[in-house]
């Protein structure tokens, strides 16, 4: 087994872990959101499904190379697909923010929801850091972009937590949707940057 093969295998394992954590965010977030009637938590759960698409793309990319597809080709296609995953996340966050603002949805405090947000705040930065280190090793721009998705998930979890606490303490129900809107802008810019880099290379 060459070093590169071993690194690709580590990439596959990292992305499986990414999918697993996103599944936990989705399932626990939905349960906590439905029980407490919190639209913010339900939105958080649904956006984890969008985030999982980036991990799925990277799984396809690593396995493709491990099975002998040309590295340059799978990498280029993965970068494009991750760019669209960023656009998908941006669109989803924008729609949910506007919906929350129009309906004045309150992010009701829920112990389970707060526990989930804290869990993601601990796990996601570690995962992003591992992905970033491996991206440098593999010289994979696609994995570097995917690690940015993981960082955005950290921001989303942090703002969810702040939103839940701000509403409970001061009644600032708008804190979470306003923050989600800001993250939507970051995600859209990231997607645009990835696409323009791809064009410059060819
Ligand atoms: Zn997430």
Q: Which sign, positive or negative, has the C-alpha torsion 10, 19, 90, 162?
A: negative
How deeply is 184 buried, as exposed, middle or buried, from its count of CB atoms within 10 A (0-12, 13-18, 19+)?
A: buried
- Alpha-carbon distance 164 to 184, whole Å? 19
Per-residue pLDDT of the chain (202 residues; tens, 9 = 90+): 679 999 999 999 999 999 999 999 999 999 988 887 777 788 888 888 888 999 999 999 999 999 999 999 999 999 999 999 999 989 988 998 898 889 887 767 778 888 999 999 999 999 999 999 999 999 999 999 999 989 988 988 998 888 888 887 888 888 888 888 888 898 899 899 989 886 765 4
From the CA of 25, how far away is ligand 1's center (Å)? 6
As residues whose CB is below 5 A from the ion ligand 1, the structure lists 25, 48, 51, 153
From the CA of 130, how far away is ligand 1's center (Å)? 16
From the CA of 187, how far away is ligand 1's center (Å)? 13
Threshold 0.95, pTM exceeds: no
From the CA of 180, how far away is ligand 1's center (Å)? 12
From the CA of 53, how far away is ligand 1's center (Å)? 11
């Amino acid at each position: 087994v060459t070093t590169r093969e071993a690194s690709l295998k580590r990439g596959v394992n990292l992305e499986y872990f990414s999918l697993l954590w996103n599944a936990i965010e989705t399932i626990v977030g939905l349960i906590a959101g439905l029980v407490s009637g919190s639209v913010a938590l339900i939105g958080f759960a649904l956006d984890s499904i969008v985030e999982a698409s980036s991990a799925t793309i990277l799984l396809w990319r690593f396995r493709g190379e491990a099975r002998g597809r040309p590295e340059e080709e799978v990498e280029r296609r993965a970068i494009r697909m991750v760019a669209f995953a960023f656009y998908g996340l941006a669109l989803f966050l924008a729609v949910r923010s506007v919906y929350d603002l129009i309906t004045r949805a309150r992010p009701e405090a829920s112990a389970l929801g707060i526990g989930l947000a804290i869990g993601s705040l601990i796990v996601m930065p570690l995962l992003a850091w591992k992905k970033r280190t491996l991206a440098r090793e593999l010289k994979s721009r696609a994995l570097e972009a995917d690690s940015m998705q993981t960082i955005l998930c950290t921001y989303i979890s942090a703002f969810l937590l702040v939103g839940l606490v701000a509403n409970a303490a001061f009644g600032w129900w708008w804190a979470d949707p306003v923050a989600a809107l800001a993250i939507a802008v970051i995600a859209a810019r990231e997607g645009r940057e990835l696409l323009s880099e791809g064009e410059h290379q060819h």
